[in-house]
Amino acid sequence: MAAADISPTASSEAAPRTAFVLGGGGKLGGYQVGMLRALFERDIVPDLVFGTSVGALQGALLAKNPTPAVCDQLTELWRELLGKRVMAVTVRSVLSNAFRRHPAFASMDALHGVVRSYLGERTRIEDLALPYQCVASSIERAAARYFDSGPLLPAVLASCAIPGLWAPVRIGDEHYVDGGIVETAPVSRAVAYGATTVYVLRMRQRERPLRPARWPWQIGPTVFEISRRHRLAQILSSHPPGVRVHILPSGEAGAEGSDVALRAGPREELALNQRRAAAGYRATCEYLDALDQGRSPHLASSANPVARSYLTTTNATLLSSTASSDRAVTPFLATKYRTLFGLFDKDQDGLIAEADWLGAADNITAAFGHSPDSFRAATLGKAFQESWGRLCEAAGAELSASLDRDTFEGAVARLVGTPHAYLANFLPMVVAFLATADTNGTNMLEAEEAQRLLQTFGVDPADALTVTRRLDTNGDGAVSLDELSEAFQAYFTSDERGCAGNMIFGSLPD
């Protein structure tokens, strides 16, 4: 069966189309197998498939066989790829490449043989069951090349050609290397071709921190990863209104301690691949189930591992271990706490009551157009109720009591006395803020969403864009959970006058 036409379209009248975008990640591709299984179990199937690097390979097999059975095929594919050690660097491969003057350490012959057995020698992209595109990086043009027609096998190999590991793949008069260099997740390409719902299956998630290189040969991959992550964040935050983008979690943070088991044999690598598939399946199931039940998927799919562990622990346990944290309140911190107090003391009677505190949640909910009985309103309201309870407990007051400024200041200081205390007592509110303001489901705040949220916090509309840009510390055009949390933590704990977090509740008095 020939694939349907995949012409670019910007028409809002076209039938809704679902795209699966499979990102790169080398041996981490096992996560995508589990993610695909979770999608198929919930009858979520693609109309279009886009891939880069290892995602180009798995996406090609998906486009060829867009049924649940493809998950078993991919499992067998990985069994062969790992069993034949297609990425292995041997003395023979190094000497052979040196003799032939190929700028690579390994041979692509084994990869070529395995991929050919699954995709076919003469299969053309037009022959696939679904419209499919993969991207590779042209050396001569220093640009992306999207393959949407022609021979499938060389296009996939070109997209997978990791620089240094494998030699560039020649197609026509040009040489191509890994597509992840120019397009780590072709979301914008999917949107340009009419996708109205996009599921992004990506690995090497942004919350996994990079570490400085320890050896000279690690510098190149580290620099590449910095560039890749920055580009990915820009892509994910730049889609037009009306397009729903789901950034599926891979679950990798809890599946392994490092990217690649460098010293593992085929058996160990296969076991690791199976764990990756299971982690991708579990994490994606959590995300999709949260969507089905009207819950926010942010907690399941976001947050760095440390923050997530606190958020999934009972509040009672956390409060008992952190509420007693006392810290000296410096004059600058006191100024910030008093500014926050003033935002809640609307009637300027010098007191904050529970109604004042919870009223802020209603104002934020209304600012984003959520119904008072919506799940997001309930989630934010619960976060405010719990935080009020923590404040009162830290102040030694009843829930029905009103807190004066000095009592409020002391209670806040106790709740943020240590990093652990901040994570337990304030991070749940930050997650709720993000869930409420993230109206298009990207798991981050785009510029307009961030500005609107800041204005509900008391930031002057004329300053909201400037504050948003400062909160966006990685310059990707959006504010992530980590960036928002860092800003809140800086507001409550930092004496550094120049940090961006000082501005989240409006200008401070001189």
Domain extents in the chain:
18-308, 331-503
- Higher-confidence position of 13 and 59: 59
| Region 331-503: CATH code | 1.10.238.10
Check whether 4 has a pLDDT greater than 50: no
Q: In 88-226, which ranges are E strands?
A: 132-138, 143-147, 169-171, 174-177, 197-201
Q: Higher model confidence: residue 86 or residue 139? A: 139
Task: Pick 270 or 315 by higher pLDDT.
Answer: 270
pLDDT at 69: 96
Whether 312 has a pLDDT exceeding 50, the answer reads no
- What pLDDT band is residue 374 in, cutting at 50, 70 and 90? confident
Task: Tell me whether residue 480 is one of the annotated catalytic residues.
Answer: no
Which of 47, 93, 107, 178 is the catalytic position? 178
Percent helix, percent strand, percent coil in the chain, to nearest 5: 55, 10, 35
Q: Residue 298 above 50 pLDDT?
A: no
Nearest to 375 by CA among 315, 447, 296: 296
- Tell me the mean pLDDT in the region 37-47: 95
Q: Among the options 47, 53, 148, 480, which is catalytic?
A: 53
Element of type H or E holding 50: strand 48-52
Q: What is the DSSP letter of 508?
A: P
Query: Is 237 noted as a catalytic residue in this protein?
Result: no
Under CATH, which number does the domain 18-308 receive?
Answer: 3.40.1090.10
pLDDT band at 268 (very low <50, low <70, confident <90, very high): confident
CATH topology match: 18-308 vs 331-503: no
- Choose the weakest-confidence range: 53-67, 101-115, 210-224, 402-416: 210-224
Tell me, what's the pLDDT at 7?
Answer: 58
What is the rounded average pLDDT of the residues 248-252?
Answer: 83
As a whole number, the mean pLDDT across the chain is: 81
Percentage, residues of the chain above pLDDT 70: 76
**Residue 131 · residue 3 · CB < 8 Å:** yes
- Segment 248-275 shows an average pLDDT of 69
Residue 15: pLDDT over 80:
no
Mean pLDDT confidence for 121-141:
94
